[in-house]
Amino acid sequence: MVWLSRTIGEMLAKETSFSFIDADDFHPISNKEKMRNGIPLSEEDRTPWLETLRDVLKESLVNRRSVILGCSALQKRYREILRSADPSYVPESYVSIVKFVLLDVAAEVIAARLEKRVAEGKHFMPSTLLRSQLELLQIDDSEGLLNTAFGLYCFEEVHPE
């Protein structure tokens, strides 16, 4: 299981024959409305959403299905919740079948992509919330995050027809 953005995640899912799951599809309507209105989510909003995602990953593991989850697991605590889908995971050991890929992309590039998706009606979160999202980002080298500049390129550059 790998954590990525939707575009890259869908591309990798196609290439690997894994299923793709978009974490945004699991937000309750109340979370989407808050974000749509420019209100950042609280921990009380995020935790049940992350626990639902953990349960989805756990079910995939039980059924021996490989999946790619597109998810903004911005904090170490959030990633720990998702890692706990692995029944053999020991908290804070970072040794898990659940893997995370950090797309290393400049904030301006993310903002431009997000604005485009919102304008096309493909996303509910305005780019004004991006700053609060990036402020939450925690990167801990001991976690073994796979850090890649893959996200710098547009889909067509990464995967030509």
What pTM did the predictor assign? 0.77
pLDDT in tens, the chain (161 residues): 444 467 778 888 888 899 999 998 999 999 999 988 989 889 999 999 999 999 999 999 999 999 999 888 889 999 999 999 999 999 999 899 998 887 777 777 777 776 777 677 766 666 677 777 777 788 888 888 776 655 444 444 443 44
Whether the CB-CB separation of 15 and 107 falls below 8 Å is answered with no
| Angle of CA points 84, 89, 93, to nearest 5° | 105
Q: What is the DSSP letter of 32?
A: H
Architecture of the domain delimited by 2-152: 3-Layer(aba) Sandwich (3.40)
What is the model's pLDDT at position 122?
66
Whether the CB-CB separation of 100 and 72 falls below 8 Å is answered with no
CA distance 48 to 85: 14
What is the model's pLDDT at position 161?
43
Structure tokens at 119: 């304008």
What is the model's pLDDT at position 108?
74
